[in-house]
A and B are shown apart, each in its own frame.
Chain A
Amino acid sequence: MKCRKCKAVAAVALPSHNTAFCPDCYPDFVRSQVERAIHRHKMIAPGDRVLVAVSGGKDSLALTLLLHELGHEVHGLHVDLDIPNSSTDARAACEGFFTKLGLPLTVIELHREGLAIPLVKSRIKRPICSVCGKLKRYYFNKFALENDYPVLATGHNLDDEVSRLFANTIRWDRAYLSDQGPLLPAENGFARKIKPMYRLTEFEIANFSFLRGIDHVIAGCPYSGKASFPIYKGLWSGLEERMPGAKVQFYENFLREGRPVFAAWSDQQGELPTPCTECGYPTSAERCGVCRIKAMVADDEK
């Protein structure tokens, strides 16, 4: 196969785009996909400082590099989960990468909040992945608001978005279907959230990270074994293999045709979150989910 742009030997073949690129031209393709996403959804206004949530994996580190190269002012935020044999590597990958680029990185340590994941896992019956996700979203949002970052970016890719949309569709979860998308505007105590890599697959980002020499962690989370997303990801990769372009079509058509319908339904419900009585975080209950988790862990401690 030859590179579409310069006819050199291709390094990456992309069936869904019916094309291939050499190592020199491929990063331009990835950058243009991110640029297009930012532009189309007006994700970042001129002069916006961008807070990037980084896990140490390829997606969030690639996003950091791309936003930096596109000229945005980037600040990294990492949540250290304190999981043995995993969190130290993840944190070191983030710290090494940000030091190399000369960009600022803040680390929030969950054990300082009394919420180290192994402790939480031992005290709470619910699946740990959903609790962990909730804690991370809470601290990312809190940090963005308290430090006046107008926008919070995450490294979610097309596979993440499609498997989540698929899970929500299987349950026809109207509330989730009403606000899934690459841009969530700032409202009711939440920072603006953006997913500039939503048009790129995991495979596309892995190739980019390899070619740009991004030092990221490869091993997955030791607790993620029972999550349902890997099943959906597997189904979708089989589908994509036989129908190149299916993923991006399913997602983009949802954004155009499906989401507005669910959003209109959600507006009719008119239920706005109120500040948590303990920490002020927006919630639909009196006390927010994270304060309830803290209380459960503390109760058990006694």
Chain B
Amino acid sequence: MINVRLEPEGRKVHFPKLGTVLQLLKKLGLGNNAALIIRDGELLTPDRRLHAGDEVVVRTVTSRG
């Protein structure tokens, strides 16, 4: 299982199986430049592999008015 926390909302989603960050973005309906993907304090590019047990933060990129 891969555990994903969506920021800024704080909602959590889980995926039984995912190959790469790109697949995660597609599942969430996000473009490549829509969010920061963070695992263990490290930024991941779309080609990086995800593994069972990963805790991933998806932080949508938005700016205040």
Contact = CB atoms under 8 A, between A and B. Distances in A.
Given A1-B45, A11-B43, A217 B36 contact: no
Contact of A203 (B7, B38, B42, B61): B61
A13 B61 CA distance: 15
A43 interface: no
27 contacts: A11-B42, A11-B45, A13-B45, A15-B33, A20-B45, A23-B43, A160-B63, A201-B33, A202-B61, A202-B62, A203-B61, A206-B59, A206-B61, A207-B36, A207-B43, A210-B43, A210-B59, A211-B43, A218-B7, A218-B8, A219-B8, A220-B64, A220-B65, A237-B31, A237-B34, A238-B31, A241-B31
Interface of A: 1, 10-13, 15, 20, 23, 55-59, 90, 129, 132-133, 157, 159-160, 201-203, 206-207, 210-211, 217-221, 224, 227, 229, 237-238, 240-241
B32 interface: yes
A157 B43 CA distance: 21
Contacts of A12: 43, 45
Contacts, number: 72
Contacts of A90: 64
Interface of B: 7-8, 31-34, 36, 38, 42-47, 59, 61-65
Given A159-B63, A219-B8, A241-B33, 20 more contacts: A1-B47, A11-B42, A11-B43, A12-B45, A13-B32, A13-B46, A55-B64, A57-B63, A133-B65, A202-B63, A203-B33, A206-B36, A210-B36, A218-B7, A218-B8, A220-B8, A220-B62, A220-B64, A229-B65, A241-B32
B58 to A, nearest CB: 12
A225 to B, nearest CB: 11
**Which of A157, A211, A218 is packed against the most chain B CB atoms within 10 Å?**
A218
A92 to B, nearest CB: 14
Given A15-B33, A132-B65, A241-B31, A218 B59 contact: yes
A55 B63 CA distance: 10
Nearest to B34: A237
Contacts of B65: 129, 132-133, 220-221, 224, 227, 229
A247 to B, nearest CB: 10
